Structure 1
Amino acid sequence: MEQLINIMMVVILLTNLLLLGSSRLGTCIPALGFQGILLGLMLPVLLLSPEGISIHTLILVLISIPLRGLLFPWILFRIVKKTNIRREIEPFISYPVSIFLGMLALVLAFWMSSRLAGTPIPSLHPLMLPVAFYTILVGLILIVSRKLAINQVLGYIVLENGMYVLGIAFAGEVHLLLELGVLMDVFVAVFVMSIAIYRISREFSHIDVNQLQNLKD
Structure 2
Amino acid sequence: MDGVNVLVLAVLGTGFLMVSRRSLDAIIRLYALQNVLLALVSFGLARGEPHFVLAGLALFLIKGIAIPYYLFWLLDRLEVSHEVEGYLSVFLTLVLAGVLTALAFRVGRVFLLPGAPLPEGVPVALSLVLLGALSMVARKKAISQVLGFLALENGVFLLALAESHGLPLFVELGVALDAFAAVFLAGILLFRIKGELGHLDTARMRALRG
TM-score scaled by length of structure 2: 0.92
Match of 1:135 in 2: 128
Which whole-Å CA distance do the structure 2 matches of 1:116 and 1:182 have between them? Answer: 22
**Alignment match, 1:183:** 176
**Number of residue equivalences:** 209
Which consecutive unaligned segments of at least 5 residues does structure 1 have? none
In the alignment, is the contact (CA less than 8 A) between 1:122 and 1:172 conserved in 2? no
Cα distance between partner residues in 2 of 1:124 and 1:94: 38
User: What pairs up with 1:107-122 in 2 under 5 angstroms?
Assistant: 107-116=102-111, 120-122=113-115
Tell me what 1:125 maps to.
118
Q: Aligned residue for 1:25?
A: 24
Partner of 1:102: 97
Q: Distance in 2 between the 1:190 and 1:121 partners?
A: 35
Provide the rounded CA distance (Å) in 2 between the counterparts of 1:69 and 1:140.
Answer: 20
Matches of 1:55 and 1:10, distance apart in 2: 25
CA contact (8 A) 2:119 2:162 kept: no
**In structure 2, how many angstroms separate the alpha carbons of the residues matched to 1:158 and 1:63?**
17
Q: Any runs of at least 4 consecutive aligned residues in structure 1 with deviations exceeding 4 A, and if so which?
A: none
- Residue 6 of structure 1: aligned partner: 5
Q: Quick one: which amino acid aligns to residue 35 of structure 1?
A: Q
Q: CA deviation at 1:210?
A: 1.4
Identity %: 29
Q: Which residue of 1 aligns with 2:83?
A: 87
Aligned residue number for residue 198 of structure 1: 191
Runs (5+) with no aligned partner, structure 2: none
- Please give the TM-score of this superposition, normalised by the length of structure 1: 0.89
Provide the residue aligned with 2:55 in structure 1: 60
Letter in 1 for 2:153: E
Give the C-alpha shift of residue 216 in structure 1.
6.0
- Structure 1 residue 116: Cα displacement: 4.3
SS of the residue corresponding to residue 196 of structure 1 reads helix
Give the superposed CA RMSD.
1.7
Q: State the one-letter code of the partner of 2:96.
A: L
